[in-house]
């Protein structure tokens, strides 16, 4: 098979076919790891270009203002505290009840400059890398606007408020998706996590009543615009998995092994309906293990995930600040050696 471009490779996988080789990219790679492996690299996308990763990432632009030492108030109205990772933690949220919601004005999806960063990435990498843009579906925006604890309590105490927030999230993300599709974006991913290591953050019944209708609506809208969708959610999601798959996603990420999600089981159950992305353990193995152990696990993951196509190799979440650079390098070297079809890892 002739060499594919990264965009062709990823699109082939999302159609659940075998490309020339197994593609690879990560949603986040910590700056310390990037600089250790590619000294002088300026950004995640610069690292991806220098290291031969298959995707360039982008997201819509939202403004923020200083709200204290190490704190930023976003255009959405919630406040983020800086952390040791490159993303922060929400510490203050603008909505506590229905009255707050009724007064709340969300960011305008059509505001001037909203897609400047996306346009720059498309201009630099379009047609070469798979340009993938981060949106949300039904959980992350309600969580940020209410805060984790308040949202989880409202699921039982104020379901009408939760439903209103979900509908708002769907509407805004469909509006942004329309803008992205018009600009030539082909792939998006939604980063809303529904579960922890022990199970979903809400009961399956609550997920079905409050979140699944919005999930189906937003995925249907994305697909009607011609967008491919990679759905990210960590945790033990078996109780929700059928609902997630039937919503219309193209690919599931990251098949979290620490939470008991087994790649072989998910592939057997859903590999004919969706593509899969994952799932070399970044919680323990890539932080505490050796390059030899990471290489062995990468080969095992290729043996399980790659046959028949429809598979993207990645970590089980991200290359965070505790991942040893030499371990991530071992994954990349192993993929280059064993990831070409027909895979013989």
- How far apart (Å, rounded) are the C-alpha atoms in residues 100 and 142? 13
Query: 132-173, pLDDT tens digit by residue?
Result: 999 999 999 999 999 999 999 999 999 999 999 999 999 999
pLDDT at 281 over 90: yes
Best CATH choice for the domain 6-62+97-338 from the list 3.20.20.210, 3.30.70.890, 2.40.50.140, 3.40.50.300 = 3.20.20.210
Provide the pLDDT for residue 89: 82
Report the largest interatomic distance among the alpha carbons of the chain, rounded to a whole angstrom: 60
> Dihedral through CA 58, CA 63, CA 67, CA 72, nearest 10?
-10
Task: Please give the average per-residue pLDDT across 258-263, as a whole number.
Answer: 96
Provide the pLDDT for residue 160: 98
Query: 177-197, pLDDT tens digit by residue?
Result: 999 999 999 999 999 999 999
Alpha-helical regions (H) of the chain:
6-14, 31-37, 44-51, 98-103, 116-125, 140-146, 148-157, 159-182, 204-206, 212-224, 238-246, 263-270, 285-288, 291-305, 325-338
pLDDT at 86 over 80: no
Provide the pLDDT for residue 258: 95
155, two tokens: 């699921």
3-class DSSP assignment, residue 218: helix
3-class DSSP assignment, residue 92: strand
pLDDT band at 90 (very low <50, low <70, confident <90, very high): confident
pLDDT at 302 over 80: yes
pLDDT band at 27 (very low <50, low <70, confident <90, very high): very high
pLDDT at 84 over 90: no
> Rounded to 5 degrees, what are φ and ψ at 11?
-65, -40
Provide the pLDDT for residue 83: 79
Choice among 64-68, 75-79, 150-154, 167-171 with the minimum mean pLDDT: 64-68
Q: In what order do the strands lie in the sheet with 79-81?
A: 64-68, 71-74, 79-81, 89-92
Provide the pLDDT for residue 319: 97
Percentage, residues of the chain above pLDDT 70: 100
Mean pLDDT of all residues in the chain? 97
Task: Please give the average per-residue pLDDT across 268-282, as a whole number.
Answer: 97
User: C-alpha angle with apex 276: 313 to 33, nearest 5 degrees?
Assistant: 30
Task: Please give the average per-residue pLDDT across 227-256, as a whole number.
Answer: 98
Percentage, residues of the chain above pLDDT 90: 95
- How far apart (Å, rounded) are the C-alpha atoms in residues 165 and 154? 11
């Amino acid at each position: 098979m002739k060499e594919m471009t990264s965009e062709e490779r990823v699109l082939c996988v999302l159609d659940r076919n075998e490309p020339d080789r197994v593609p690879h990219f990560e949603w986040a790679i910590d700056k310390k790891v990037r600089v250790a492996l590619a000294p002088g690299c300026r950004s995640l996308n610069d690292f991806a270009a220098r290291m031969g990763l298959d995707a360039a990432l982008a997201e819509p632009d939202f403004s923020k203002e200083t709200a204290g030492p190490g704190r930023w108030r976003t255009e959405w109205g919630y406040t983020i505290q800086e952390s040791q990772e490159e993303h922060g933690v929400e510490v203050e949220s603008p909505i506590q009840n229905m009255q707050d919601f009724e007064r709340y004005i969300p960011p305008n999806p059509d505001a001037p400059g909203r897609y400047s960063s996306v346009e720059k990435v498309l201009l630099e990498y379009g047609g070469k890398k798979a340009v993938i843009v981060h949106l949300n579906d039904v959980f992350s925006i309600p969580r940020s606007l209410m805060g984790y604890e308040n949202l989880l309590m409202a699921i039982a105490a104020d379901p009408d408020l939760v439903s209103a927030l979900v509908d708002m999230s769907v509407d805004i993300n469909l509006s942004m998706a329309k803008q992205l599709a018009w600009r030539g974006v082909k792939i998006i991913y939604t980063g809303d996590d529904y579960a922890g290591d022990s199970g979903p953050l809400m009961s399956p019944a609550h997920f079905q009543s409050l979140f699944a209708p919005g999930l189906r609506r937003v995925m249907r809208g994305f697909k009607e615009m011609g967008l491919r969708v990679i759905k990210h959610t960590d945790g033990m999601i078996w109780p929700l998995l059928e609902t997630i798959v039937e919503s219309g996603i193209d690919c599931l990420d990251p098949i979290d092994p620490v939470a008991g999600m087994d790649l072989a089981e998910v592939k057997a159950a859903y590999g004919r309906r969706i593509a899969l992305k994952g799932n070399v353990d970044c919680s323990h193995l890539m932080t505490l293990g050796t390059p030899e152990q990471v290489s062995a696990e990468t080969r095992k993951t290729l043996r399980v995930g790659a046959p028949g196509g429809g598979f993207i190799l990645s970590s089980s979440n991200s290359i965070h600040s505790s991942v040893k650079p030499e371990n991530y390098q071992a994954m990349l070297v192993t993929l280059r050696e064993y990831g070409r079809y027909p895979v013989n890892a």
